[in-house]
Amino acid sequence: MSDREPELPGLLDGLVCVIRRDLHLAWRRPGDVLNPLFFFAIVSTLFPLAVGPDAEQLALNGPGVLWVAALLAALLSLNSLFLNDYEDGTLEQLLLSPQPLPLLALAKAIAHWLVSGLPLVLVSPLVAMSFQMPARSTAVTMLTLTLGTVSLSLLGSIGAALTVGLNRGNALLSLLVLPLAMPVLIFGARTVSLAAAGDATAAGVYFLGAYCMLALTLAPFATAAALRISNE
Amino acid sequence: MELLSMGGYGAYVWTAYALTFGVIIICVAQGRRRHRRVFDDLRSRLRAASERSK
Amino acid sequence: MWTFLHKLSSPPHFYDLAAKMIPWFAAGSLLLIAYGTVAGLFFAPPDYQQKDAFRIIYVHVPAAYLSMMAYVVMAVSAGIGLIWRMKLAHAVAAGAAPLGAWFTFLALVTGSIWGRPMWGTWWEWGDPRLTSELILLFLYFGYMALRAAIDDTARADRASAVLALVGAVNVPIIHFSVEWWSSLHQGPTLIRVGGPAIEPVMLWPLLAMILGFMLLFVALLLGRVRTEVLFRERRSRWVRKLVYPEETA
C-alpha cells in the first residue's frame, strides 16, 4: 500500500508521447510518408520534361519549381493531420487531456514535419541535381527547405484545425494556408536562386528563420484555439 | 482642354476613377439589395406561417 | 456612457441607431469624396515627374488605406467577439470582410493601372508591397470561404475569428514593406517622420478622399451589420414585430 500521489506525466512526456504515436501510425501507413514524397518526385520530373533539357533554363527556374513542389506536397499531407484523430475520437481525448493543448498541437505539427517535411529536405539534393542546379546551392537549399517546411507544418496545422471535419475541407485548407505560406515561398526560392548564383544569402536565411520562430511560438496557440472551436 | 487627355495619361486616369466609382456603386447597391432580400424573405416566411396557423 | 455602450450591443438598439447614423456618414462621405475628386482632378497642379498620371493617387491611396483599415476592423471585432463572446462583434467582422476585399481589389487594380505608365509594367512580382497586398486579398477570400463553409453560425464566427487574427500579422508587413525592402513603390508619403512629403494643394484633396472613404466604409459597414443582425435575430420577437407587424396585431 502506498500513500504516494501518482505522478502526472510532465510536459515533455506529453509532447514525446504524441509525437511517438503519430510516428508509429505513420510507420504503419507508409502511404502517408510516401505519397507526398512521390508527388514531389513526380512534379520534379514533369518540370524538365515540360520545359526542355536546356541546362541553363532548368537551373534558372529550378529553385522556384523545387519550392512550389515542396509547398504543394506539404499541403497534400496536411489534410489528414487531424482528420484521422477526429474520426476515431482521439481528438476529443487530446482536448480533454490535462496537458496544455498548444503543446499537443505543437507535437502534432512536429510529427507532421518529421513525416512529410524532413523526407523532402533529405531528397531535395537529388532533385536539385536533376535540375542542373550547382552544387554550391545544396546546403542553402536544404537549410531553407528545413526552415520553410517547419513553418509550413506549423501554419498548416492551424488551417487543418480550422477545417477538420468539413466537406471539401481540402481545397479550403489550401486557400487558408496559401497566403500565410507565400512569404516562405518567396524568400525560400529567392534565397536558393541567390545561392546558385553565388551571392550572399544571409538575409533570406535570417528572414526564414525569423518567420519560423514566429510560427513556432504562435501557431500552436492558434491551432489549439481552432481545435477547441471545431470540436464544440 | 487637358481635362480628357490628362496630359496623355487620360486612359489610365479615367479608367482608374471609373473603376473606383463603379466599385463604390456596386457596394452600395449590393448592400441595399441584400437587406431588401433578407427583409422580404423573412416577411414572406412569417406571413406563410401565420396563414398556415389560421 | 456604459449604458450607451451596453444598449449599443443590444441588437434591436443597434438596428435602430445604425439606421439613424448611416445617412450622416453617407452624406459626409459624399461631400468629402466629391470635393476630393474635383479638386484632385482639376485643381491640383500636375506633378513635376508624373504629370497628370499622379492623379490616380486620389483613388489608389484611399483604397489601399481602407483595405488595411477594414482588415483591422475585421480582426479587432473578431477578437472582441471571440474573447467577450459578443454576437454583434462577429456580425461586424462578417460585414467588414467583403468591403475590405473590394477595397483591396481596387487598390491592386488602380495601382496596376498607375504602375503601367510610371514603371512600365502592369505588375511586378518582386515588389513587396504588391505581393503583400495580394496576400491580403487572399486572406479576405480565405476568411469569407471559411465562413461560407461552416453551417453553424457560432462555429463559423469563432473559426473565422481565429483566422482573421492569424492573418493580422500581414497588415504591418504591408505597411512597412516599402521601408524594409527596396521596392518600386515609393516610400511613405503621409505617415512619416518630418511630416507629409507632398505639397498642401495636392495634399488636401488626398486627405479629403481618405476621410471620405473612411466615412463611406462606416456607412456601408453599418448597413451590412444591420442586415446581418436582422438575419441572425430572425427568430426573436423584435424582428418578427418589425418585419411582419400584422402578426402580433
Q: How many C-alpha atoms does A69 have within 13 Å on its Cβ side?
A: 26
Pick the residue with more confidence: C101 or C180? C101
Amino acid A102: pLDDT:
94
pLDDT digits (tens, 9 = 90+) for B1-54: 456 676 777 888 999 999 999 999 999 999 999 999 999 999 999 999 888 887
Give the mean model confidence (pLDDT) for residues A124-129: 90
Q: How many CB pairs under 8 A join A and C?
A: 58
Q: How far apart are the C-alpha atoms of C234 and C87, rounded to whole Å?
A: 14
Q: Give CA–CA dist C53/C12, Å, rounded.
A: 48
Say if residue C249's pLDDT is above 60: no
What are the domain boundaries of chain C?
53-248
Task: Give me A120's grid cell.
Answer: 523532402
Q: Mark yes or no for CB contact C165/A175 under 8 Å.
A: no
Q: What angle do CA C80, C82, C88 make, to 5 degrees?
A: 60
C114 vs B16: CA distance, rounded Å:
8
pLDDT of residue A143: 94
Q: Residue A140 corresponds to which amino acid?
A: V
Asked if the Cβ–Cβ distance from B13 to C53 is below 8 Å, we say: yes
pLDDT higher than 50, residue A182: yes
User: What band does C238 get if pLDDT is binned at 50, 70 and 90?
Assistant: very high
Q: How would you label C146-172 residue by residue, b for 16+ Cβ within 10 Å and e otherwise?
A: bbebbeeeebbbbbbbbbbbbbbebbe
pLDDT on residue A10:
80
Cβ atoms of A123 and A40 closer than 8 Å: yes
Q: Is A13 a residue whose pLDDT tops 70?
A: yes
CA distance to partner chain C, nearest, from residue A193 (Å): 13
In this model, does residue C160 exceed pLDDT 80? yes
**Which candidate from B9, B35, B46 shows the least CB-CB separation from C53?**
B9
pLDDT tens across C179-199, in order?
666 656 666 666 665 566 677
Residue C106 to residue C61: CA distance in whole angstroms: 10
Mean pLDDT over each residue of chain C, to the nearest integer: 88
pLDDT score at B1: 46
* Set of cell numbers at residue A85: 484523430
- Rank A198-207, A208-217, C38-47 by mean pLDDT and report only the highest: A208-217
**Residue C1: what pLDDT?**
64
pLDDT single digits (tens) C35-89: 999 999 888 888 878 788 888 999 999 999 999 999 999 999 999 999 999 999 9
Query: What is the distance between the alpha carbons of residues C138 and A178, in angstroms, rounded to a whole number?
Result: 8
Instruction: List, as one string, the DSSP characters of C47-84.
Output: BTTTBGGGGGHHHHHHHHHHHHHHHHHHHHHHHHHHHH
In this complex, is the C-beta atom of C52 within 8 Å of any C-beta atom belonging to chain B? yes
Reply yes or no on whether the pLDDT at A189 is more than 80.
yes
Phi-psi region of C195 (alpha: psi -120 to 50; beta: other; left: phi over 0): left
Q: What is the pLDDT of residue A30?
A: 85
Residue A6 CB burial class (10 angstroms; 0-12, 13-18, ≥19): exposed
Q: What is the ipTM of this complex?
A: 0.90
Assess C141–A contact: CB distance below 8 Å, yes or no: yes
Q: Which residues of C touch B39 (CB under 8 A)?
A: 230, 243
The verdict on a CB contact (< 8 Å) between A166 and C149 is yes
Of C42, C216, C244, Cβ closest to residue B46: C244
Q: How close is the nearest chain A Cα to the Cα of C162, in Å?
A: 7
Interface of A with C in 156-195 (CB under 8 A): 158, 162-163, 166-169, 172, 175-176, 178-180, 182-183, 186
pLDDT at position C47 is: 80
Rounded average pLDDT over A45-67? 86
Question: What is the reported pLDDT for C34?
Answer: 96
- Measured between beta carbons, the chain A residues lying within 8 angstroms of C167 are 179-180
Measure CB to CB from residue C243 to each of B15, B23, B43 and give the nearest one: B43
Mark yes or no for CB contact C60/B16 under 8 Å: yes
Contacts of C166 in chain A (CB under 8 A): 158, 180, 218, 222
- Label residue C135 by pLDDT band (50, 70, 90): very high
C140 or C173, which is more confident?
C140
Cα C171 to Cα C165: distance, rounded to the nearest angstrom = 11
Where in chain A are the domains?
Answer: 11-230
Judge whether C41 is closer than 8 Å to chain B, CB to CB: yes
**CB C154 to CB A232 under 8 A?**
yes
Chain B within 8 Å of C42 (Cβ-Cβ)? yes
Cβ–Cβ contact C108 with B under 8 A: no
Interface check C142 vs A, CB under 8 A: yes
Chain C residues with CB inside 8 Å of A226's CB? 159, 162
**CB distance from C189 to chain B under 8 Å?**
no
Give the SS3 label for residue A63: helix
Give CA–CA dist A174/A116, Å, rounded: 16
pLDDT at C169: 81
